[in-house]
Amino acid sequence: MADWKINPIKEDCEEVSEVPQWFPLDVAATIYPNARRYGWCTVYRFAFIMKEEVDPVVLKQALKDIAPRFPGFFVNVKSGLFWYYFERTEDLDIVEPEDYYPCRYIQICESTKPAMRILYYKNRISIETFHAIADGGAALVFNKTLVARYLELKGVKITRTEDIANIDEKPKKYEFEDSFRKNYKKMKGLTRKEETAYCYKAPAVKNYYKVIHGLIPVEDLKAAAKAHSMTITEFLMVAYLYAFYKTAPGKVYKPIKISIPASLRPRFDSKTLRNFSLYANIGFNPKGRTDITFDEIFEMVKGKMEQGLATEELHKMLCINARDASNPILRVVPNFLKKPVMQFIFDHAGENKFTSAMTNLGIVKLPPEMYEHVERVECLLGSSPTKKLLCAMITYNSMINISFTSDSEKTDVQREFFRVLSERGVRVRIECND
């Protein structure tokens, strides 16, 4: 099925009067169906911890109520002869009690259900999403709208804000926009060449998923970061780099790098509810040294984050991704031949360029009425075939929740990370799913 035969969203209207049954994946989404393996695909979770036990009947009705407003989320990925595409689905039977580990495999292609699931356990509402549908920034809009509607059905009057959708309105055309293609410009000399990073090794445990939360007052992090003349993000990134460095089993001769994602929406004036984020891999090369201090690491990486996340650099990466996704040779290669090539690219041109990822979803702001009913918010990154430890953080109500996820029982890096913070005056409350 060629892109031009998949009904496009009309560009000459603000609202979408009719959403097509099939539509193409955005540029960033193209890698995820191809990169999946048996029992694994790229899944992430947002969880809202409520102040009272969740009512599943009301939750199901809330999902049903918001579904027409978010047709781009109620899709599954289907495989054509040459590429994958989205197919809309009316099956809303995705609300279920949580009885297994987080971020497990979501079935695509063969399933009639959306490539997401809504889970409840006691007072927790969790929304797990296949990354091809949307990035975290877009998913957070969907998730906040779902929780807002749930509370409305419980009798709470919610004040509308710009990042909670009005479910009485029709979907907007800009929400379906592939902002990668829209902002693509042909450039010469662009390359993905980058040094391979140090690989953190930890023995995986089958059907196991370890979650460690660190709950930290934002004021503590601000004070600690200021004392080192860093921003909060720089401070946490350096602590993470230092933790990998200090726990390495021997001398390290490859760069230890952390992948830091960034939303492109504010930089390119986009309101898309699809994928529109990129990353910079920031780190340092110990070159065999065993005496590098925390402050030395900061001096080594100082300025790299600002440079790597500069709009000009991100635009170059955007153009590389859009160019490669439109490669005319790849587009005529059948999926069954393309898949192993794309998996190789995912592993060796992407995953092996960084040691771990640390994604910051920023501050979650809710209408005043919702603060009375939402205790806290969490974000978890699903496991990866090559990355044995991942980190996500999100701030709500003056507390930052730093969550480490792993399919290994090994916890040396996590312990070292929180020790570094504690030694610098940061109060940390640890929670674990063991």
Looking at the structure, do residues 110 and 229 belong to the same domain, yes or no?
A: no
Looking at the structure, do residues 85 and 170 belong to the same domain, yes or no?
A: yes
pLDDT band with cut points at 50, 70 and 90 for residue 6: very low
Looking at the structure, do residues 157 and 288 belong to the same domain, yes or no?
A: no
User: Is residue 14 assigned to a domain?
Assistant: no
Looking at the structure, do residues 115 and 249 belong to the same domain, yes or no?
A: no
Looking at the structure, do residues 177 and 219 belong to the same domain, yes or no?
A: no
Tokens of 72: 């781009």
Residue 27: is its pLDDT beyond 80? yes
Instruction: Read off the pLDDT of each residue in 36-65 and give the average, rounded to a whole number.
Output: 96
CATH number for the domain that contains residue 281: 3.30.559.30
Looking at the structure, do residues 254 and 386 belong to the same domain, yes or no?
A: yes
Residue range of the domain that includes 408: 210-432
User: Cβ(72)–Cβ(171) under 8 Å?
Assistant: yes
Looking at the structure, do residues 173 and 225 belong to the same domain, yes or no?
A: no
Looking at the structure, do residues 272 and 135 belong to the same domain, yes or no?
A: no
User: Is residue 391 assigned to a domain?
Assistant: yes
- pLDDT tens for 343-393 read 877 777 778 999 999 999 999 999 999 999 999 999 999 988 889 999 999
Looking at the structure, do residues 43 and 90 belong to the same domain, yes or no?
A: yes
CATH number for the domain that contains residue 120: 3.30.559.10
pLDDT band with cut points at 50, 70 and 90 for residue 203: very high
Residue 69: is its pLDDT beyond 60? yes
Instruction: Read off the pLDDT of each residue in 12-26 and give the average, rounded to a whole number.
Output: 80
User: Is residue 8 assigned to a domain?
Assistant: no
Residue 7: is its pLDDT beyond 70? no
What's the pLDDT score for residue 235?
A: 97
Looking at the structure, do residues 223 and 358 belong to the same domain, yes or no?
A: yes
Residue 5: is its pLDDT beyond 50? no
Residue 156: count other Cβ atoms within 10 Å of its Cβ. Answer: 14
What's the pLDDT score for residue 17?
A: 67
Tell me the percentage of the chain whose pLDDT exceeds 90. 80
User: Is residue 338 assigned to a domain?
Assistant: yes
User: Is residue 192 assigned to a domain?
Assistant: no
Task: Output the pTM of the full model.
Answer: 0.93
Contacts for 276-280: CB closer than 8 Å, 24+ residues apart: 276/26, 276/28, 276/135, 276/137, 276/138, 276/179, 276/180, 277/28, 277/135, 277/136, 277/137, 278/314, 278/317, 278/318, 278/321, 279/357, 280/304, 280/305, 280/308, 280/309, 280/313, 280/314
Tokens of 385: 């075939």
Looking at the structure, do residues 268 and 141 belong to the same domain, yes or no?
A: no
User: Is residue 140 assigned to a domain?
Assistant: yes
> Based on the structure, what is the number of domains in the chain?
2
